[in-house]
Structure 1
């Protein structure tokens, strides 16, 4: 199932979300410009490797931040940036710039550390913004449980239908946990779970306490 858009009519300018997407895309095209060997080199040079982190936490901690802006291919970055575009603007408008960035960055850190905890001896570089974006999903789950998401059901022929955001995101989390328990290779499943948990918990603390109706800048009625 692939999200197309949510049911909130207006999110505001989403400047931070746009900036994050632009930064990720710029870094990815820089990776591609290096050629296949250069691409592989920067993945190992700037990716987050759990075994290396536990051998030298202080020296390797910055790799968490560099890994958050790198991707392994076009499908990888397109999927991540699309999820950020669908769910990020509403969270950004609701939390504001500072709190939104706090959730994003800390969720990315939490995601990397969670993956390292479950696979401490892994020498495979972890790259991608999916851990941080999982935190955005956690925030969306807290802030907009009654929103709906237009969803594309694969495979072909395509079928479009509306799902409650809480149901769609809940299903997504369940899949991450299940695949993590099964140990399926190729994706940092536990990073997704850890990022979601950090985003969820942080948003419970950081979300504005005022009623929605007192925030006309971002709030609009849900509608299709």
Structure 2
């Protein structure tokens, strides 16, 4: 049985986590994992791990990133599928993916899975900028020009994905400008309701 069949058989439930850079996705994902028992998969982390592994696939990904190209959807989706199959859990938060409409369509096409819902961290640009500049975690991409470019990419590419799922009634929007604990209170309500529905 191929990966698709196995994921279906496993009854995998997926929640996409979207939000601009600095909207607090990582922090809240860690909370959701702790309280609701989901497994957190970050598309970026999986790609970085694949590059580190030194595999042929990893070398190809590294070269594409070096050349400023977008890694093909199929490559990222295969890594996500593999991670979901190798994990004993059946509830996954997928963070930072789909980045655009093409990613979204390819994910549903390849995995035959639609997300249960999309958790969207809505945060004003000024607030995200303030957080990113303040966090100084040694990420060399946290300077003002790069940050603004990342916002632009997010707005142009990822918001259409949010709009698409919004039309299907699948977006759960959270005001991410609030303090971390307040944001998690909102997140808890969403996930508690979801759990009640027999997830």
Question: Structure 1 or 2: larger strand share?
Answer: 2
Please give the TM-score of this superposition, normalised by the length of structure 1.
0.30
Q: Quick check: which one's helix share is greater?
A: 1
